[in-house]
Structure 1
């Protein structure tokens, strides 16, 4: 679920920040720029792990700010395809389920990836697994909001929300999410034994 990713960027330090030690200022700038933001093709950056290289600072004429090339490693949320995670149902619609991990909410489970057979109850606005036991009796297993759910990751989607960018944000340092688009979405399934609400299998 969490990986250690090597990254690089050029950090700009304004003149009024020169009073701080270079190492502490670099750490501050990197966490401010990347922590809790999605970087295209990389994942959701959680927190800086370490800084492996700080280059010599240089000042561009007319700005007064120092620019320093840094190499660093970030702890990133990016589950692998096939990984099984446990979250909570955030909402339901005829399209499927939305799931949250608490710190990451953009997880969808399409209707086609639910336990079969399942139906959407329009009155309750919930999905229902029509579970058939050994005696061929059908039991409605409601997938209530805020219930704990176990799912398997089947796909991931990145959307480059940085305008006029010819390079991925991981290279140019543009990690600003667009409010109109979701920069990183995970798709999952519960259509397998042991998946779905954890209460089903307890």
Structure 2
């Protein structure tokens, strides 16, 4: 018996994930590869990344990610890499190109992202609360 299949997405489990269980390492790698499904682009005019948030019926709302803005994100994983100490300047010690500690996060959940995305909504909510209190009196 033969089973024919087509693989659209493939992941590679590297030695850095061998300390994890097979299902945990595959879940981590699949999430890293497939989690960023929201379209984004770099706007040359504004020199900023733009997240094209879908509103429905084919419409989208551009959310600008300006450099230097405060952001709220969720940590999805942490990676510790084995690193060796470097010698004093001017010695022939190998230079390491990997970061010894990496934090991987995401902003694709409600309430996350640039704080400026949510400030207008919070101001509207406060204004609605005040209106509701006035109507109750």
TM-score, with length taken from structure 1: 0.32
Question: Relative CO higher for 1 or 2, CA cutoff 8 Å, sep ≥ 6?
Answer: 1
- Bigger helix share: 2
TM-score, with length taken from structure 2: 0.45
